[in-house]
Amino acid sequence: MAINRKLRMGLVGGGPGAFIGEVHRKASRLDGEIELVAGAFDIDPKKSQQMGKQLYLDPKRVYNTYQDMLKAESALPEGDRIDFVAVTTPNNWHFPIARDALKAGFHVMCEKPMTLTSKEAKELQTLVEKKGLVFGLMHNYTGYPMVKLARDMVKKNDVGKIRKVVVQYPQGWLATALEKTGQMQASWRTDPKQSGAGGCVGDIGTHAANLAEYITGLKITDICAELTTFVPGRALDDDCNCLLKLEGGAKGVLHASQIAHGEENNLAIWVHGEKASLEWHQEHPNYLYVRRPSKPEEVWKRGNDYVAGYSAAAARNSRIPSGHPEAFLEAFANNYTNFAETVKSAIEGKKPDPLATDFPGVNEGVRGMLFIETVVASSKSKQKWTPVKK
């Protein structure tokens, strides 16, 4: 039966002063398919209640812990309870919350990196398969229309066999010991118990690796990496340099850094094939640069008819006419809206539109954890080149 209503979301994390929980709130409501009805917003129950008030939520559905939320929501009639749980806490909480939500029968949208270890990631993968529930992973950069266009250019063989991928993600915000000031986002990111085995590599290196695999359709098979901690006293890496081997003989270079003064979120990718080269920048996301041998450079611009004519995915994931910039929130919302359509299809017992299933999920989460573990192992090793385990 068709469900003619918004999907109901229960949010974990996103308390006062939190970063990404608020982005999830904004992005999830952009297309009017999702409403926030419940939450356990903060590790501190008082702050969870404070956030619930600020959001004008029904106080009965503002919970002190995620466990309380899962229990109480499971007990509500099907017509009222949440449809899915969004996980926006620090990394160490992703696994228990996602696992318990799936076990309780809820679909999940989870932040990256998916877990603390690949073992936990594989446990979630098995659970998702067993339960037949929908799992989204917020690698939001795959939500950009021009990234989807690049992916489709590779798929249609307009780039040719891929020879080389260069991907970078420099930031500068951790160039000093910000964590020593008690700054909220820096504190947990530099603590291995909350962040995991990787610092910069887990926080933003995973986005770069995911983007490279998404656009090229090729898996990273081997990594030669060096992680460095430049800021004295810091427990995790703040700089990450990798050489990559990808399926089909392609080579790659991936670098991520959080000590690059003045860099904001300078994620960018270059894909060099036998027929053409592609270039895309997250800070200028409405343009895709295409270079072919002995031809002038092409600049493909989001929202134009020639983009829509070429890529149904780029067209579907774009909202406003060309020249009016779309960016971070819209890309985030694309993952949410595609996820919502897939969840609706699951509830209705229908096969989803393949274009709606174009968002990262639990398999990409496993890839992310294998990437982090391989980079850490390679960095510590003497032989350097390290295969990515299956």
Q: Which of 138, 146, 223, 259 binds ligand NAI (CB under 6 A)?
A: 138
Q: Is 40 in the site for ligand NAI (CB under 6 A)?
A: yes
Q: Is 20 in the site for ligand NAI (CB under 6 A)?
A: yes
Q: How far is the CB of 89 from ligand NAI (least distance, A)?
A: 4
141 DSSP 8-state letter: G
Cα(157)–Cα(146) distance, integer angstroms: 17
Please, which residues have CB within 8 angstroms of residue 51's CB and are 6 or more apart in sequence?
A: 14, 15, 16, 39, 41, 42, 62
Q: Is 112 in the site for ligand NAI (CB under 6 A)?
A: yes
Bridge partners of 12? 40, 87
Helix (H, G, I), strand (E, B) or coil at 242: strand
Interface with ligand NAI in residues 64-103 (CB under 6 A): 66, 88-91, 93
Region near ligand NAI per CB under 6 A, out of 36-44, 215-223, 229-237, 273-281: 36-44
CA distances from 307 to 104, 153, 177, 387 (A): 42, 11, 44, 37
Q: Which helix (H) or strand (E) holds 387?
A: strand 386-387
Q: Is 12 in the site for ligand NAI (CB under 6 A)?
A: yes
Q: Which of 15, 198, 303, 361 binds ligand NAI (CB under 6 A)?
A: 15
Q: Is 114 in the site for ligand NAI (CB under 6 A)?
A: no
3-class secondary structure for 3-51? CCCCEEEEEECCCCCCCHHHHHHHHHCCCCCEEEEEEECCCCHHHHHHH
Region near ligand NAI per CB under 6 A, out of 184-192, 268-276, 316-324, 344-352: 184-192
Token digits of residue 306: 């020639």
Q: How far is the CB of 286 from ligand NAI (least distance, A)?
A: 18
Q: How far is the CB of 275 from ligand NAI (least distance, A)?
A: 32
What residue ranges bind ligand NAI (CB under 6 A)? Answer: 12-15, 18-21, 40, 42-43, 66, 88-91, 93, 111-112, 138, 140, 184-185, 188, 203
